Chain A
Amino acid sequence: MMAETRSLEPHPATERPLSPHLQIYRPMLTMLMSIAHRITGIGLYFGTLLLAWWINAAASPNGYSKFEAFAGSWIGRIILFGYRWALIHHLLGGIRHLIWDTGRGLGPSEREWLAAANLVGSIAITVLLWIVGLLAMGGP
């Protein structure tokens, strides 16, 4: 009883334990996919600037040729490829979160499987869309 009362007194020198930070943990796929979901979300947020530009550029031939010049440049291709991957990854990640919201898929093997499917699926669909896009454009 005495010890408990003493511990309640203010003691500035006391080193209180902190909750473990990110760097304490070994990187795991589920953790990386959680971070990827947030980062792709931020990317898509600013990617809407490209969407708004593309839509408004379509109104005039001059404006559209400027957008096409950007989309055809190397930096443009990389950004649009990244935007498409982020869109697919965030879409699949969102479906994963909605499955979790129902209380399903939270077991150790299920969540690992879902995380792996999220990553593999997003890359596979993005590459597939890229190939379809190249074919639609008439070759690379």
Chain B
Amino acid sequence: MSAPRHIRTPLGRVRGFGAARSGTGHFWMQRVTAIANIPLTIAAVIIMMMLLGRNQAAVAQILGSAGPAIIMLLFIVSIAIHMRIGMQVIIEDYVHDELTKIGLLIANTFFVIVVGLAAVYGILKLSFGL
């Protein structure tokens, strides 16, 4: 047996890393956003139900008012983080060609940022009446 090259323990080396080199950050964030999504989804569904059948002016006015707008912004941000991690797990589970996998992971990030920011822009536009 040769002497170990460094004095760090095996636990010290893997702590915060693991196979994905990013540790349990995604696992934890997926659960934090899942918990946030429970009240936010219920609130968002109630807002959507309240707006059913109303005309555009009423929808714009209600959706742009402080309470519903802040709830929708929180909902969008929380589901965007949650769905980016979720889709990443799905891609990593089923796509084994390295280049395709990297391409899809980047596309996933782009999709989430574009759709998320477009939805945030829409809410801010209604709120500030731009």
Contacts and interface: CB of A to CB of B under 8 A. Distances in A.
A27 to B, nearest CB: 20
B110 to A, nearest CB: 13
Given A51-B119, A87-B45, A97 B34 contact: yes
A129 B37 contact: no
B90 interface: yes
A130 B4 CA distance: 65
Interface band, chain B: 20 to 34
Interface string B30-56: 010011011001100100010011011
A59 interface: yes
Contacts of A10: none
B52 A64 contact: no
B63 A58 contact: yes
B16 interface: no
B17 interface: no
A133 B52 contact: yes
A116 B14 CA distance: 39
A59 B34 contact: no
Contact of B31 (A48, A64, A101, A136): A101
Interface string A61-87: 100110000000000000000001001
B41 A132 contact: no
A91 interface: yes
B82 to A, nearest CB: 9
A55 B63 contact: yes
Given A56-B118, A56-B121, A98-B34, A41 B83 contact: yes
A84 B45 CA distance: 9
Given A38-B90, A48-B83, A61-B56, A91 B37 contact: yes
Interface of A: 38, 41-42, 44-45, 48-49, 51-52, 55-56, 58-61, 64-65, 84, 87, 91, 94-95, 97-98, 101, 129, 132-133, 136-138
Given A41-B87, A56-B118, A137-B52, 7 more contacts: A56-B119, A59-B126, A64-B55, A91-B41, A133-B49, A136-B52, A138-B53
